[in-house]
Chain A
Amino acid sequence: MANAQFAQSDAYLSELISEVSTMPDAPLSMGRRTFFKLAGAGAAGLVLGFHVGDQAFAAAATQNGNLQTINAFIRIAPDNTITIYSKCPEIGQGIKTSFGVIIADELDADWNHVAMEQADINPKVYGSQGAGGSTSIPRAWNQLRQAGAGAKAMLIAAAAKTWNVNPAEITAKDSVLTHAASGKTATYGSLAAAAAKMPVPDPTSLTLKTRAEYRLIGKRYRGVDDAKLVTGQPLFGIDVQLPNMVHANFTKCPAVGGKVKSFNADEIKALPGVLDAFVVEGTGVPVEVMPGVAIIAKDTWSAFQAKNKLKVAWDESEASKDSTSQFSASAKKLAASFPAKPDDNVGDVDKAFAQAAQMVEAYYEYPFAAHATLEPMNTTAHWHDGVMELWVPTQQPDRGMTQVSKMLGLKDDKVVVHQTRVGGAFGRRGTNDYMLEAAAIAQKVKGPVKLTWTREDDFSHDFYRPSGYHQFKGAVDKDGRLDAWQEHFITFTANGKRPVAGGGHTDTLNVSTIAPNLRRASTMMPLMIPTGSWRAPGDNAQVFAVQSFTHELSAAAGRDHVQFLLDAVNRNVPELAPKSKSVNFSPARASAVIKLCAEKAGWGKTLPKGSGLGLAWCYSHAGHVAQAVELSVDANKRIKVHRIVVAIDVGPVIDMAGAEAQAQGASTDALSTAIGLQLNIENGRIRQQNYNDYPILRMPMAPMAIDVFFIQSDNPPTGLGEPAFPAMAPALGNAIFAATGDRVRSLPLRNLDYSLAV
């Protein structure tokens, strides 16, 4: 059994996701409002912040030179330029643009004169500053709108006082206030100083815009950092350069759990460019710092070269011996006997099977996967004056701050975190191991030190998407409806009690394919390799299995698959209704995206021989998404994807260009993963070490067209980093079945000799 200390990275994220459910849609009550002074602002004047309930709505008024900081999100300069601070990490999900649009819309700011900056990491002011689980938008939606509306109210109050008019008669547009009756106008910049002296409004007194009143939300935007990105300006963690900075690499045991016995310290320290080399014992927890050898050098290349010469004697007595080939063989055997104690048991599955018009049984499996973000893990750390200062490309900066202070025994205010742009995350950087490693190393280094992992480090020490194995048995009744579903899920456990991160049953089955008779059980195999959140955890693979098997059932029944899906999502089975308030599944929204996707994909049209159209849907991370794939398959199992259609309901879209990009990117990522990605583990070691072993989709195989359609419902907006991933693989598999009659029951497809045509 694996060490119980091997905490999984997902628990924190789960808390974040469930926290969304506690967020009221209406403006917040005054219940727990408290004012406080912000530390360090004394010289600049009085800064007031306030928390309301569990959600930190930060408001402040301060004078700092000529710049008027209206609140912690907004600063207005005399020339009418407005700086808006984005509180969460930009990881490629477009949040730095979307957050700006949300605030600027309520503020009625002129978007052409808004500059976006990354906010300081200060959860006392901003509340949670993490990015994960597609929760940034739903968590921040009210807070950001109130920040914009509150600032506007202060500007209006200042104008009303100056002009001696009723504030209700003042209108705002494009950073200008107008009093129509008197013909008076003033820019925000000219009023900012006076506005900063106005009382901070009670957020419950603010009237937020209705959808019809949005001026900025829903339009198409360029990414706010795009001009810097296309000219190669330093934005990412790996780009941080500080005076007198040195460079570090950290080498851990290739099998997790191994400890350093000794290493060739004298030889390494004598290598050119090497400044030092030492053992870091670490905390022994993979999500923190595992034991290893740090090499400090004058530049990255010297550190990497020395790493190649490093010889470590590892104590592997407690290290992982995990093997994926053994997992596959064991799972297949375990799947054969359904556990006596199911996880859930609704209706009467045995009776439904006995009366079934059609029955289907099938076994599905999918492999381990790495995140393989293009920017390798890195952090720059500087230990000075009793303060640990860090520059980090992370998804969880506020959590990292707490982790570092705890590990080093420092007070919270002695850890300063600077959030950098993040070169790909996909859940990997919800875990701050590399940040904690840098902090541990920096305590032994004079001056700032940048820790950079090699690509091989990155493949070897990820928090992986676990493999999974599903034995299904399903029944269709005489009316051709899904009647019974039995599932035995073979997954993993690290502590013998609960499934590993990303290895638990998700809600997807309860809502995507509702069977009145349902019985599910799981069997857990011990696992030591750490797992974590991987884009749409759980759903990213389980939806493949569930939606593919659903298609097997509709095909066996001779039903139209879209009709079969619509029947299933609209089935009322009270025992299966989501119990968590965070699950906002709606049969109406599900039906709407399925219908829209089918319509846009030309469902029912006649296709040439060898071509097929497949469709699947999912409810994931509060989004309702249907995906369709039209493809053809040649005699050599080469797949040509002709078109991908995505229909999405995540409520109102903030940035249409960004939202489409997320759907196109997630579809491409899902196609890439389904076709080619898999990790093999032997003796606790990850065999794939670089991109040549891990064939991420490239331009020649990329789809020519991914058409995205949104249903902009009146529900509060939810995130889009993840929901457009899960239904892609089953849509692909269902399309292959439609084209060839061959059923895809395991991933990746290249193991089944399929490839993408160039």
Chain B
Amino acid sequence: MLHLTVNGENRVVGDDVDPATPLLWVLRDHLGLVGAKYGCGVAQCGACTVHVDGKPVRSCQLPVGTIGSRVITTIEAIGNTPNGVKIQQAWMEAAVPQCGYCQAGQIMSATALLNRTPNPDDSDIDAAMAGNICRCGTYVRIRRAIKNAAAKSA
């Protein structure tokens, strides 16, 4: 029996789940949290990004048995954090999403960026967002939304 702290709640993962199962699939198939997305399975696309102890992590590569007491935050609850809600609002104001499939991962990476760098410059944004593919090509608006959110933080 595994105990996970997900979005501030204690969640129990049954014994039928192999501890080697990546967090992504435990969230999606066992805990009903489908905001983190499967895109590549090899940490190339960033669609599965969640926060573990506040740091962005590709959940498709994190065996659920190795997490222990570390705190997991997903897109479903990132709006409960000050930077998370600012990023979400900035995303809507800039009408960032096209198909929208990558955007949960983009928002998790962007929120983590603001958490450690409140006023990111272009190179900070490049570095923080390089792991997240947007197949629709919304990068111009993602960059603008991050800057707008940062301006509100200041």
Contact = CB atoms under 8 A, between A and B. Distances in A.
A238 interface: yes
A421 interface: yes
A426 B100 CA distance: 14
Contacts of A426: 135
Given A374-B45, A699-B125, A230 B92 contact: yes
Interface in A295-310: 298-302, 304
A230 B137 contact: no
B16 A298 contact: yes
Given A664-B137, A699-B126, A239 B100 contact: no
A373 B135 contact: yes
A423 B37 contact: yes
Contacts of B39: 374-376, 455, 691
B130 A374 contact: no
B91 A702 contact: no
Contacts of A221: 95
Contact of B47 (A91, A304, A374, A452): A374
Given A239-B34, A374-B99, A375-B37, A703 B25 contact: no
B74 interface: yes
B41 A304 contact: yes
Contacts of A758: 126
B32 interface: yes
Max count, chain A CB within 10 A of own CB: residue among B36, B100, B141: B100
Nearest to B128: A699
Contact of B99 (A220, A424, A658): A424
B92 A226 contact: yes
12 contacts: A92-B99, A93-B98, A232-B33, A301-B25, A374-B134, A423-B100, A690-B42, A698-B131, A699-B126, A699-B143, A704-B140, A704-B143
Nearest to A230: B88
Contact of A301 (B21, B32, B104, B132): B21
Interface string B101-137: 1111001000000000000001001110111111111
A697 B96 CA distance: 17
Contacts of A705: 140
B29 A299 contact: yes
Contact of B139 (A422, A423, A657, A668): A668
B139 A699 contact: yes
A454 B25 CA distance: 13
Contacts of A668: 137-140
Contacts of B103: 229-230
Interface of B: 16-18, 21-22, 25, 28-30, 32-42, 44-45, 47, 74-76, 79, 88, 91-93, 95-104, 107, 122, 125-127, 129-143
Contact of B34 (A232, A422, A454, A665): A232
Nearest to A299: B29
Q: Which of B25, B107, B137 has the largest number of chain A CB atoms within 10 A?
A: B137
Contact of A222 (B32, B75, B76, B92): B92
Contact of B138 (A233, A300, A665, A704): A665
A77 interface: no
A246 to B, nearest CB: 10
B75 A692 contact: no
Contacts of A690: 40-42, 44
A272 B21 CA distance: 12
A696 B135 contact: yes
Given A230-B107, A690-B40, A666 B25 contact: no
Contacts of B101: 236, 373-375, 423-424
A480 interface: no
B125 to A, nearest CB: 7
Contact of B100 (A225, A302, A698): A225
A205 interface: no
Contacts of B88: 230-231
B91 A230 contact: yes
A386 to B, nearest CB: 29
Interface in A358-414: 372-376
A332 B108 CA distance: 48
Given A229-B100, A661-B98, A699-B130, A455 B135 contact: no
Given A232-B34, A699-B139, A699-B143, A300 B98 contact: no
B99 A422 contact: yes
A632 to B, nearest CB: 17
Given A230-B92, A236-B101, A699-B126, A665 B79 contact: no
A235 interface: yes
A698 B130 contact: yes
A183 interface: no
A247 interface: yes
B79 A235 contact: no
B44 A226 contact: no
Given A92-B98, A374-B45, A664 B140 contact: yes
B45 A691 contact: yes
Contacts of B76: 231-232
Interface string A553-593: 00000000000000000000000000000000000000000
B140 A702 contact: yes
B44 A692 contact: yes
Contacts of B98: 92-94, 661-662, 665
B51 to A, nearest CB: 13
Contacts of A376: 38-39
Contact of B97 (A226, A425, A700): A226
A657 B95 CA distance: 7
B135 A232 contact: no
B102 A374 contact: yes
B139 A667 contact: no
Given A220-B95, A299-B25, A661-B138, A231 B30 contact: no
Given A299-B30, A424-B136, A231 B35 contact: yes
A272 B18 contact: yes
A347 interface: no
Given A222-B92, A374-B135, A301 B126 contact: no
B114 to A, nearest CB: 15
A18 to B, nearest CB: 27
Contacts of A92: 97-100, 136
- Pick the most buried of A230, A247, A698: most chain B CB atoms within 10 A of its CB: A230
A227 interface: yes
A706 interface: yes
Nearest to B93: A222
Interface in A663-709: 664-669, 672, 690-692, 696-700, 702-706
Given A225-B100, A272-B18, A699-B129, A241 B92 contact: no
B135 A231 contact: no
Nearest to B47: A374
Give the 5 A-B CB pairs with smallest separation, nearest first.
A232-B35, A668-B137, A92-B99, A423-B101, A232-B75
A234 interface: yes
A375 B47 CA distance: 9
Contact of B137 (A233, A421, A454, A669): A669
